[in-house]
C-alpha cells in the first residue's frame, strides 16, 4: 500500500472525509446499542443473582464484539457507499481509463490511500464506539440503582484484559479493509452510467455486510479455540 508515489494528500483528505461522514452516525448507533446490551445483560444478571458482574459482561461484550462490528457496519454503509459511488462515477466517465493513458496507476492513486485511511479511521472509531456504549451501560446500571459505580467498574477491571482491546482493534482493521476493498472493487467494476453506479453501490454494501458477518464468526471461533479461557 505505502510505496513510492503514495498520495499522502489523498490519504489525509480521505481520512478526514471518512471521519466526518461516519463519526456522528457511529456515536448515534453506539448509544442505543449500549442501551440494548445493558438492558439484556442486566435482566439476565438480575435473574441469576449476578448483578455485581454486569460491568464485566457488558464491557467485555461491547469491546470484543459490539465495537468492531458497529464500526465496520458504519464504514460499509456510510464510507463504503461514498467510496464506491465516487470511484464508480470516475469509471463510467472514463476517468480511470484516462489515468491509465497518462501513466497513473489508479490502484496506487485512488484505492491505496482510501484503504489506508479506512484502516486508521476504523481503529479510532472502534475506540469511540466502545467508550460510548460502555458509558451508556454504566449510566443505565449505576443511574438505575442496580449496582454501585465502584462495583461496576471493579468487575470490568478485574475480568478485562489488554487482549480484549487488541482483539477489537484487530477485528476493526480486518473489517475496515474488507469493506473498503469491496467498495473499491465494485466502483472500478461499475458500468452502464448512473444506474450502473447505483447498482454497484448497492452490491458493495450488501456484499460487505455478508462478508463482515462471516469473517466475524470465523475470527470469534478462532479466538475461542486459541484462547478457551476468554471466548470472544
Render 48-84 in DSSP notation, one character per residue: HT-GGGHHHHHHHHIIIIIHHHHHHHHIIIIIHHHHH
In a domain, 2, yes or no: no
In a domain, 147, yes or no: yes
In a domain, 32, yes or no: yes
Q: How far is CA 170 from the centre of its chain?
A: 11
In a domain, 125, yes or no: yes
pLDDT digits (tens, 9 = 90+) for 140-185: 888 877 778 888 888 888 888 888 888 888 888 998 899 999 999 9
Q: How far is CA 206 from the centre of its chain?
A: 15
In a domain, 172, yes or no: yes
Residue 1: what pLDDT?
54
In the chain, the number of structural domains is 1
**Cα–Cα dist 165/55, whole Å:** 16
pLDDT digits (tens, 9 = 90+) for 176-232: 899 999 999 999 998 888 888 999 999 999 999 899 889 988 888 887 787 755 544
Q: What is the domain extent for residue 160?
A: 8-230
Q: How far is CA 38 from the centre of its chain?
A: 20
Amino acid at each position: 500500500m505505502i510505496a513510492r508515489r503514495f498520495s499522502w494528500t489523498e490519504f489525509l483528505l480521505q481520512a478526514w472525509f471518512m471521519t466526518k461522514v461516519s463519526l456522528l452516525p457511529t456515536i448515534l448507533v453506539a448509544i442505543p446499542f449500549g442501551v440494548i446490551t445493558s438492558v439484556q445483560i442486566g435482566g439476565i444478571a438480575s435473574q441469576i443473582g449476578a448483578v455485581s458482574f454486569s460491568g464485566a459482561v457488558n464491557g467485555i461484550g461491547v469491546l470484543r464484539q459490539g465495537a468492531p462490528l458497529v464500526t465496520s457496519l458504519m464504514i460499509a454503509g456510510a464510507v463504503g457507499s461514498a467510496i464506491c459511488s465516487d470511484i464508480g462515477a470516475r469509471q463510467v466517465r472514463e476517468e480511470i481509463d484516462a489515468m491509465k493513458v497518462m501513466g497513473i496507476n489508479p490502484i496506487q492513486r485512488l484505492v491505496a490511500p482510501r484503504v489506508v485511511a479506512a484502516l486508521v479511521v476504523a481503529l479510532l472509531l472502534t475506540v469511540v464506539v466502545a467508550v460510548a456504549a460502555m458509558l451508556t451501560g454504566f449510566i443505565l446500571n449505576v443511574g438505575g440503582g442496580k449496582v454501585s459505580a465502584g462495583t461496576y467498574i471493579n468487575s470490568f477491571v478485574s475480568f478485562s484484559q489488554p487482549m480484549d482491546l487488541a482483539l477489537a482493534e484487530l477485528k476493526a482493521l480486518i473489517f475496515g479493509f474488507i469493506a473498503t476493498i469491496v467498495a473499491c472493487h465494485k466502483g472500478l467494476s461499475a458500468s452502464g452510467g448512473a444506474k450502473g453506479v447505483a447498482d454497484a453501490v448497492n452490491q458493495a454494501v450488501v456484499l460487505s455486510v455478508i462478508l463482515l458477518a462471516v469473517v466475524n464468526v470465523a475470527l470469534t471461533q478462532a479466538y475461542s479455540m486459541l484462547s478457551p479461557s476468554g471466548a470472544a
